[in-house]
Amino acid sequence: MSLNSLEEIAQFIVAEGKGILAADESNPTCGKRFDSIGVESTEENRRDYREMLFRSLGMKNNIGGVILFDETIRQRAKDGTPLIELINNQGALPGIKVDKGLEPLQESPEESLTQGLEGLDERCREYEKIGARFAKWRAVIRIGESIPSQSCIDKNMQALADYAKIVQKNKMVPIVEPEVLMDGDHSIERCFEVSRSTLSSLFNCLDKNSINIKGTLLKPSMVTSGSKAGIKADIDEVAELTLKCLKENVPNNLPGITFLSGGQSDVEATAHLDAMNKIGGFEWKLSFSYGRALQQPALKAWLGKEENIKDAQRALSHRALMNRKAAQGLWDLSLESN
C-alpha cells in the first residue's frame, strides 16, 4: 500500500468504520488466555492462533490495523508466509507494541510508570524496516482513595509524548494509549475527572514535544463506572460522558480515536461505541482497538483444534463487522443474532 505520510497512514487505519485488532498480548498474558481453554502457550501454538485470526475473512474491510507483539512481527505462517504479509494481504497495516511494561513509582508504589524509552529509537528503526507502519505505548492510571497523583499522570503523559516523538522520527504513526483502569468501586463521575486530567496533560505534553497530531491516533479508555461500583452507569451515560471528556480535551485535527475495551464484554464494548457514533457532533473518527472484545469468541470456538478453525474465524469476522457498524453508528443488538 503506497501510504507515504504519517497523516495518510493514520487516516487509512480508521477509514470507513475500520478499526484495530489488538493482538499484542505479551507471552504471559497470552498464556492466561490459553489456560482458560486448556491450550499450552508454546511459540507454535501462539503462531497458529494468530495466523488463524489474521486469515479470517472478516479482517478484510473491517480491520485497518493490527497491533503485534515482538515475537509475532517476526513469525511466519505454517506455509512460510510472514505474518505481517498476511495482514497486508487483508488490506490492514501491521503495527507493534513498543513499551516494556510497568514499574511502580518510587514515591507512590501504588502507581506505576511505563518503561521502554531506553533503546526505543533503535528498536523503532528495526520495526519500521521489518514492515511496521505504526506503534503503540500504554500508560496506566489507577483510581483509588488518594490516587492518581498529578505527578503520576504527568510523568506517564510525558513518557507517551517522548515515545511519540521517537516513533514519528522513525516514520511510524504513534498510538498513544492512556488507560484509566476500570478496577475499583469508583463512580463514573470520578472516572470522568481522572480521564479529563489525563487527556489534558497528554495533549499538553504532545504539544510541548511538537508532535504531528494529524499523524497520531489516540487509544483511550471509555468513561465508565468502576468494575466494583455499586451503581453501574448505563450505555447512554457512558457514551455522553466519554464524548464530553473527549470534546473538552482532544484537538479536532486528530484523525482518529480507537477505544480500548478495558474489561468490557464484547457486546458491551460494541454498544458503547455505537451509542457515541449515534450521538455524533465530532471531527475525529471514533472507532475501536479491541483485544479481548474482538478475540474472546474466536478463542472459545478455537480451543487449539484445527477442526475448529473455520468456526473461530467466523466468530472473529462477526465481531469485526459488528464493531465496524458501531464505528459508523449503524449497529443494533438485533444484528448479533443474524
Q: Which amino acids are annotated catalytic?
A: 177, 219
List b or e across 124-134, with b for residues whose CB sees 16 or more CB atoms inside 10 angstroms.
beebbeebbbb
C-alpha cell at position 61: 474491510
Phi, psi of 111 (to 5 degrees): -105, 165
> How long is the chain?
338
Burial of 76 (0-12, 13-18, 19+ CB in 10 A): middle
Angle between helix axes 43-54 and 27-35 (nearest 10 degrees) is: 80
- 51 contacts: CB under 8 Å, gap ≥ 6: 77, 78, 83, 86
C-alpha cell at position 324: 465496524
C-alpha cell at position 171: 516514520
C-alpha cell at position 264: 468490557
Q: Which residues pair with 136 in a beta bridge?
A: 97, 175
Q: Is the peptide bond before 28 cis (omega within 30 degrees of 0)?
A: no
Angle between helix axes 309-327 and 43-54 (nearest 10 degrees) is: 50
- Phi-psi domain of 96 (left: phi exceeds 0; alpha: psi -120 through 50; beta: other): beta
C-alpha–C-alpha distance, residues 169 and 171, integer Å: 6
Radius of gyration of the chain (CA): 19
SS3 161: helix
C-alpha–C-alpha distance, residues 322 and 315, integer Å: 11
Phi, psi of 82 (to 5 degrees): -60, 140
